[in-house]
Chains A and B, each alone.
Chain A
Amino acid sequence: MNTKIQRLSGTIAAQSSAQGASGVAVIRVSGSAVKTIIKKTIKKELGHMKAELTAFHDQNGNVVDQVIALFFQSPSSYTGEDVLEISCHGSIAVADEILRSLYQQGARPANAGEFTRRAFLNDKLDLTQAEAVADLIESTSIEVARAAKNSLEGAFSKKVFSILDSLVELRSTIEASLDFPDEDLEETGHDKRLEQLFKETRNSYQALLEQTRVACKIREGVVVAITGKPNVGKSTLLNQLTGHDRAIVSDEPGTTRDTIEVNTTIDGYSVSFIDTAGVRKTDNKVEKEGIRRALEATESADLIIEVKDATQENIIDAKEASENHLIAFNKADLLNNKEEIKPKTSNVFLVSALEGKGINKIVKNLSNRFKNTKDVELTITARRRHLTSLKESFESFDVARKKEKNNEAGDIVAEELLQAQNSLSEITGEYSSEELLDSIFNKFCIGK
């Protein structure tokens, strides 16, 4: 299947009202599967353009929310396709749950500008509008690419690519045996190696899916990790930033033994602060686990605020600070010569968490990031898409694994693995049959 073309078609769904908490959230679905989706989620017939107050069900039949559902019969809709508009209660959790159900029932997350693009291609816009759309698509294709890249940075991407490597190895081994049956490849110890590889890959998938599911929950906004050496005042800073006494503050190093997550809103946008356990050498099991989680949270955070002790370290040396790595020099209250050591860049702050001084500047820095809200939304959408792809990929992979175990025909196993890889291509980029052949020829001495 040409996955690139596939990504231009299908039934799409996305929140069309602004992201973040609001009174009402509107979710739009467009495409040929809309009627099936209505049957499964609304569980009743909807007339063309007749708004209806009704229950929305998830895939298990549980009611998610009372919504107003509005159906537009093709071609009399915004996109020219069958369209369903769902107005639900405006909490992030509800809108998110509805979207999740829609993705389960055959829709996929829409790309930025995709509804408008469809409207345009289906003759629903005039030329003037069309010019605007073209501009929009041009600019968003760049933004979408940037957002996708943002979402891919760090640990997630590494893990996905390691799964991709395993898939390629599985595929090239199996495909080599299908396309080159005459070669004596048996010396590679085919079957045992395959079995082992299937097992390992399955574990990697499951671990990553579990992690991503957790990450996605807190990832409906920006994730800020607060890091730093023990006892520099990370928890105190967190309390200042969120206004709650969520973290236990004490002057004993190693007090915060678990990663603490606090959700708050800044300018209406969700921000999750993660207070990481001070990273240090320790024999305490609980603390060790806390440190491990801290490192993981740091890897997946959008932004890091590193806390340093202003009495111990020199502000001038803070060269590692960057737009996504802020450094807060804490304990300014203990300094005598405050005036002399003013931070030189906008990414370095001098604060006193204890006295609450200098905190405003950090909040301001964060809120500035939301001025370009589109970026945030795009990143969130990109993440959702990635999780959907990963799930689909795992499903095909697991079918392949079971079929291989039952000794079913190699061509079917290979087909499922191809699907698994195609699903990942949303995240990893395309992988052509030519690249697969490269991998086969590098691994096996083919050629009688």
Chain B
Amino acid sequence: MGKKERSFDAIVIGGGHAGTEAAAVLSRMGHKTLLLTHNKQSVGQMSCNPAIGGVGKGHLTKEIDALGGLMARAADLAGIHLKTLNASKGKAVQATRAQADRSLYKQAIQSQLKEHTNLSLAEGAASKVLLEGDALRGIETESGERYYSKRLVLTVGTFLNGVIHTGREQISGGRKGDKPSIVLAKQLLEISPRTGRLKTGTPPRLLRSSINFGLLQEQAGDIPRPVFSFMSSRADHPEQVSCYITHTNEETHKIIRDSLKDSPLHTGAIEGVGPRYCPSIEDKVIKFAEKTRHQIFVEPEGLDSNEVYPNGISTSIEAKKQEEFVRSIVGFENAKITQSGYAIEYDYFDPRDLNPTFETKTIAGLYFAGQINGTTGYEEAAAQGLIAGINAGLAIKERSPWVPERSEAYLGVLSSDLITRGTSEPYRMFTSRAEHRLLLREDNADQRLTPIGKKLGIVSEKRWSAFSHKTEVFNKEKKRLGQTPIKFSDLEGLNETHKKDNNKKPAYDFLKRPGVTYAAITKTVGVRDGYSKEPQLLRESVDTLIETEAKYEGYVNKQKREIEKQKTNSNTELPRDIDYSTMPGLSNEIKQKLTEFAPKTIGHAARIEGVTPASLSVLLVHLKKQKMKKAERL
């Protein structure tokens, strides 16, 4: 090996889901990038449950894909059980989920990274950020190696003050096997002093061959299989397997209740706040005592893996008791635990101390992304890595930042929630967090974001031409249906009330009504030109998009009008040096909140709980007054 390269346009620390997306997008933007990881083998590792996507998370994954990211493509290459969730509950909440083969997933991430020409990988544990005053210079590793760059994306996960609990046992450390870095931690605390403590847990892993699958309820994947990435096809999917469902019972609950006295949750050993949507089995048994059973999803770890992941029984009671309660469950009577469940506590940095680009407010060029910001989940981490990477890349090019809007993408919901409100539990995406949910669908993720990706220079030519082709087919078809008048009586299989209205109207208008499918319309007006020659997935995605756009048109237009109306006020910036404490007309509570959250715009301020419309009005007037005074002085 020749002389080691030391200087980079950007350095990304950490090879998890945030780090890999950040490194990949930086290199797609043409920047010479270093990905520094403690272990090259573990790049792209799924350290928790072996699944990608789900409601909200699938939306994020598709958005990352629309911007040329890695995650969706890897989920296709590793997806051994694919499902569309909420198929009957409306397109806005419909979501894709894949059970992934852990090793295939890791491989898929690593091989995608290899295709990125400007990207180097180095092993080493970061130990110190190199600073000259407030100016960022690079990073030093534990072995004393130095790498130089003015942009640093830190995606170091749960390394800060990590403690692992199993029963009364405690081990200091990050994820299993990772060494915490005390110097770096101390330094980062100086840069971003506000922290909080969180908790998360894992279930015991079980030996596959020790489970009696015959007693479990089998759940097969969907046919036809959904596909995650715009650039994938069904042929990319590996062999498919089933998931299984079983339940805890009263006996299980009794064993758990009896072991609580030694549970770190109850001895007070755990202070961190756990996610309410992912409680430990101890929490479930206590809080919902009236429930006689809880569901367990038995998820495959991989095609060749000898383990399964029993999702739903994350626990930190002592190992012996874990085995006892596991064996009280139907199908697990002879189960062997290959690795006990445990709870991990860690500190996160308050994301309110970040700019909407995920750059720290104190050190220019230093970005935080992923679990370090108080989120949980691979998709949430990847999303932040992508946004941080894009903005680091834009900053290198001296271009203005890209901050996705809440009405534009779940990426925007995620970043604005974190930056304006912070979080008090591990933050996970839910579709109910989006006030423009009907706009932010999986089926239009590419329509919403690929054109932006093109402008940012982060989507490949191949993707762009495929996207442009799809858009052309869609527009042409929409136009055709808009110009083809039909009568209701022409349509088959509709109820009689519909048929009473028998004026001729464009076929597209009929598609807007509930219950009228695209298939029913094309039965009457015929299929579009070249339909039989279109690749299967293109055909499916255009069909879906046409129908959904028509069905949601009224709502979408209404929301767009409202967004437009609000834009002027929302985007009014609040200067960084604004002093709320002296501003008359604001209550003390609101002054305090505004000072604590330091919102960037009126729109951000509006998202802070307790800030009233009247106080926003006071802010607008104050800003204007300042501006006028300034103008007068000039």
Contacts and interface: CB of A to CB of B under 8 A. Distances in A.
Contacts of B279: 445-447
Given A406-B514, A445-B284, A447-B277, A179 B569 contact: no
Contacts of A415: 437-438, 555
A410 B93 contact: yes
Interface in B549-595: 555, 559, 562-563, 565-566, 568-570, 584-585
Interface stretch (B150-158, B227-235, B625-633): B625-633
Interface in A122-163: 127, 130-131, 133-135, 137-139, 141-142, 144-145
Contact of A412 (B90, B602, B609, B625): B90
26 contacts: A1-B563, A2-B570, A5-B566, A5-B569, A5-B570, A7-B613, A8-B620, A111-B614, A117-B621, A130-B621, A130-B625, A138-B618, A141-B615, A178-B93, A179-B55, A180-B55, A182-B54, A182-B295, A182-B297, A409-B92, A411-B90, A411-B91, A433-B433, A445-B291, A446-B277, A448-B296
B562 A178 contact: no
B227 to A, nearest CB: 20
Nearest to B430: A179
B621 A182 contact: no
A259 B536 CA distance: 73
B620 to A, nearest CB: 6
B287 interface: yes
A437 B616 CA distance: 26
Given A175-B432, A433-B430, 4 more contacts: A10-B565, A134-B622, A178-B90, A448-B295
Interface in A352-402: none
Contact of B611 (A4, A121, A183): A4
B612 A130 contact: no
B462 interface: no
What 3 pairs across the A-B complex have the smallest Cβ distances? A138-B585, A409-B90, A411-B90
A183 B297 CA distance: 10
Contacts of A418: 435
A397 B171 CA distance: 53
A127 B628 contact: yes
A141 B617 CA distance: 9
A178 B431 contact: yes
B311 interface: yes
B312 interface: yes
Nearest to A4: B606
Interface in A223-275: none
A446 B565 contact: no
B566 A2 contact: yes
Given A141-B614, A181-B55, A127 B629 contact: yes
Interface string B264-277: 00000000000111
Interface in B87-110: 88-93
A184 interface: yes
Interface residues of B, number: 68
Contact of A133 (B438, B555, B611, B621): B621
B232 to A, nearest CB: 23
A5 B90 contact: no
Nearest to A431: B609
A120 interface: yes
Given A182-B85, A415-B437, A137 B55 contact: no
B89 A178 contact: yes
Interface string A407-426: 01111101100100000000
Given A178-B89, A406-B514, A447-B312, A130 B624 contact: yes
Contacts of A412: 90, 438, 555
Most buried by B among A184, A415, A430: A415
A70 interface: no
A448 B435 contact: no
B288 A445 contact: yes
B613 A8 contact: yes
Contact of B435 (A2, A111, A178, A445): A2
A432 interface: yes
Contact of B624 (A120, A145, A433): A120
B632 A127 contact: yes
B475 to A, nearest CB: 25
Interface of A: 1-2, 4-10, 32, 111, 114, 117, 120-121, 127, 130-131, 133-135, 137-139, 141-142, 144-145, 175, 177-184, 403, 406, 408-412, 414-415, 418, 430, 432-434, 436-437, 441, 445-448
Contact of B585 (A8, A141, A180, A411): A141
Contacts of B620: 8, 117, 121
Interface of B: 54-56, 85-86, 88-93, 275-279, 284, 287-288, 291, 294-297, 311-312, 421, 430-433, 435-438, 514, 555, 559, 562-563, 565-566, 568-570, 584-585, 602-603, 606-607, 609, 611-618, 620-622, 624-625, 628-629, 632
Contact of A178 (B276, B284, B312, B432): B432
A117 B617 contact: yes
B437 A137 contact: no
Nearest to A412: B90
B92 A411 contact: yes
A448 B294 CA distance: 8
A337 to B, nearest CB: 51
A441 B611 CA distance: 25
B297 A409 contact: no
A131 B569 contact: no
Given A121-B620, A130-B625, A182-B85, A1 B585 contact: no
A401 to B, nearest CB: 15
B27 to A, nearest CB: 35
B416 to A, nearest CB: 11
A408 B514 contact: yes
Contacts of B436: 1
B616 A181 contact: no
A2 B606 contact: yes
A120 B617 CA distance: 11
Contacts of B609: 430, 432, 434
B584 A138 contact: yes
A32 B632 CA distance: 30
Contact of A9 (B86, B569, B615): B569
A137 B621 contact: yes
B85 A411 contact: no
A127 B492 CA distance: 68
Contacts of B632: 127
A114 B611 CA distance: 18
Contacts of A127: 625, 628-629, 632
Contacts of A180: 55, 277
Contacts of A437: 276-277, 430, 432-433
Contacts of B287: 445
B203 to A, nearest CB: 10
A410 B90 contact: yes
Nearest to A172: B432
Nearest to A413: B90
A2 B421 CA distance: 14
Contacts of B91: 409, 411
B621 A181 contact: no
Nearest to A9: B565
A446 B584 CA distance: 45
A5 B606 CA distance: 7
Nearest to B421: A434
B616 A4 contact: yes
Most buried by B among A7, A434, A447: A447
B311 A448 contact: yes
B121 to A, nearest CB: 35
Contacts of B295: 182-184, 448
B453 to A, nearest CB: 26
Nearest to B85: A181
A9 B567 CA distance: 10
B153 to A, nearest CB: 28
Nearest to B429: A179
Contacts of B570: 2, 5
B90 A179 contact: no
